[in-house]
A and B are shown apart, each in its own frame.
Chain A
Amino acid sequence: MIGFAAMLAAMASDKTALARYEGVPGADLDAARRLLAGQRPKRLATLDTILNWAAAVAVVPDFLLAASLAVSGDRAETAALILPPPAGPAPGLAEVLRRLHGATPVTAHATLLDLWARLPVRENFVVNRLASGTFRSLAPTLRPALADKQSLHAVMVLVQPSGPEITLALWRDGATVPVARLALTLPQTPEIMAWVRANTTKRYGPLRQVPAVQVFVVEYDGVSQNLRRKSGVELHNPRVVAWLRDGVADPLSRLVAAE
């Protein structure tokens, strides 16, 4: 079954996508149209409150919640991801919206707990956006979010052990293109540097070249054009926030599209 999260994402990007949802009840399609036309429920709780409610349901302690949020970068998503899997049949979008429209800040907690227990993770992500009044930046599966921090996944290609500093790159046409040089301050830095020492393929003065396999999450505040750079773009205030063991780096086209 296709959930309403996928349906909303498809409809937001392509009006003809409706044709693909012949099996969806008319009430749910109407609800989706009204929602995308701007008829959203009012805010029931802040994102922080919703995240704490979800952590209580999932019995996730604070330090794990903080580590999880650092990797996801999104409170509504983190709240959805940590919840246990649903039980029983999932409600459709029409029922979900009816419940959210009918809720008040006083009943919001009970309403969310009931919906969360019955919905899959992507749908709960939508519910959390709706309940927190941040639904406009759900479409983010399609467009870069406005409110959230921006991030991408880049692969390490050069390392300067003093510091240490690493040069991160994205893929273009099967080759890597450097996009940022920045300090490596992660807790796993010793492990990463041990890998670098063991896997150096070439040295250029103080720089070591390594195989392009170690992927990092880079957060940045913005991106602008800079034709003096090989990539053609420059990241504003980039910082490494996580190491993705067995990660896959992004294509450069994704960053250029954001610029």
Chain B
Amino acid sequence: MLTFTKKGLFCPDGNFYIDPSSAVERALVTHGHSDHACRGHQSYLCSHAALPVIRHRLGRITAEGTHYGEVRRIGGVTVSFHPAGHVPGSAQIRVERAGEVWVVSGDYKVEADGLSEPFQPVACHTFITECTFGLPIFQWLPAAEVLAEIAAWWAANASAGRLSILAAYSFGKAQRLMAGIPPQGPIFTHGAVEDVTEILRAQGYALPMTHRVGLSPVPRDALIVAPPNVVSGDWIGALGPMSVGFASGWMALAARRRGLAAAFTLSDHADWPGLNAAIRATGAQRVFATHGYSGPFRDWLALQGYDARVDSGAVG
């Protein structure tokens, strides 16, 4: 039903690609991160909730939104989008032909983050799962504990007269943080974060008040949310005493935390128990592992009795 090709997952019966990495006629897109929503396709189909950010990032495109759960016929198959819990608007894509069901997970996490539409398991025969953190060393603490840790860091900085700067992807992680951290002062943002935040706020996502850095003075008890590539540069150099924190699943590793003033293990991807639980919940017999430690993860799934395979399309 779906085949792995150089451009990405292809459905011959529907003549469409899912998250293609180079220009195609028809693309079904799971979410707005740049490695999934690429430029150059003739038409895009994504969830209604994902569409505004995708339009913001890609400019003038021919795109259509679909509601979660809405069933559409495309050529010889039917498709529907289902919440993936990764970022606002993110989706898994279900493809059915004559009673046979495949589900493409896109990126996902199992724990609800209070902002993204929570992950819903979708029953299928074949599940194509990401495995970014598909090793048993990746086990997340409940997000509420990590957010409380971040709040304590922010409060300690504020009482010492230091700005708190949190490095986070401008779409998804940034908004999850600002919505989830118990507030200790005002929240300021880098322009790249603020642009996306305004779009999501206009869509109705519950986001706190934020201020764009540069438009008004930044008080010392503020939290600034900025993309990782600007926090070690001139942009923040002029702001005075500060502590810079990073929030990512990779911060589970001491090698990643070394040299950082503050590091918090918080991810928008499923951890090891999450991946295993999500796969079980689909009831799938056949599982393809992509995007991550797919080799060992495939072997692990095979050991659990699945017909387990890796994304082989990029080969050759």
Contacts and interface: CB of A to CB of B under 8 A. Distances in A.
Question: Are A and B part of the same complex?
Answer: yes
Contacts, number: 118
A64 B139 contact: no
Interface string A68-89: 1001111001100110010000
Given A67-B293, A257-B259, A172 B300 contact: no
Interface stretch (B61-69, B94-102, B206-214, B227-235): B227-235
A64 B300 contact: yes
A45 interface: no
A174 B255 contact: no
Contact of B294 (A61, A188, A195): A188
Interface residues of B, number: 47
A198 interface: yes
Contact of A244 (B6, B250, B258): B250
A204 interface: no
Contact of B21 (A174, A199, A213): A199
Nearest to A173: B233
B303 interface: yes
A96 to B, nearest CB: 19
A141 interface: yes
Contacts of B315: 190
Most A CB contacts (10 A, CB to CB) among B167, B228, B246, B316 go to B228
Contact of B22 (A82, A141, A198, A250): A198
A211 to B, nearest CB: 8
Contacts of B256: 153
Nearest to A243: B292
A125 interface: yes
11 contacts: A71-B293, A72-B137, A72-B253, A81-B137, A81-B138, A81-B139, A140-B254, A174-B232, A188-B294, A197-B6, A244-B250
Given A63-B296, A246-B132, A246-B249, 17 more contacts: A67-B295, A74-B254, A74-B255, A85-B139, A121-B139, A141-B254, A175-B233, A190-B315, A190-B316, A194-B6, A194-B21, A198-B22, A199-B21, A199-B38, A245-B132, A245-B292, A253-B232
Interface of A: 58, 60-61, 63-64, 67-68, 71-74, 77-78, 81-82, 85, 121, 125, 140-142, 144, 151, 153, 171-175, 187-188, 190-191, 193-195, 197-199, 211-213, 217, 244-251, 253-254, 257
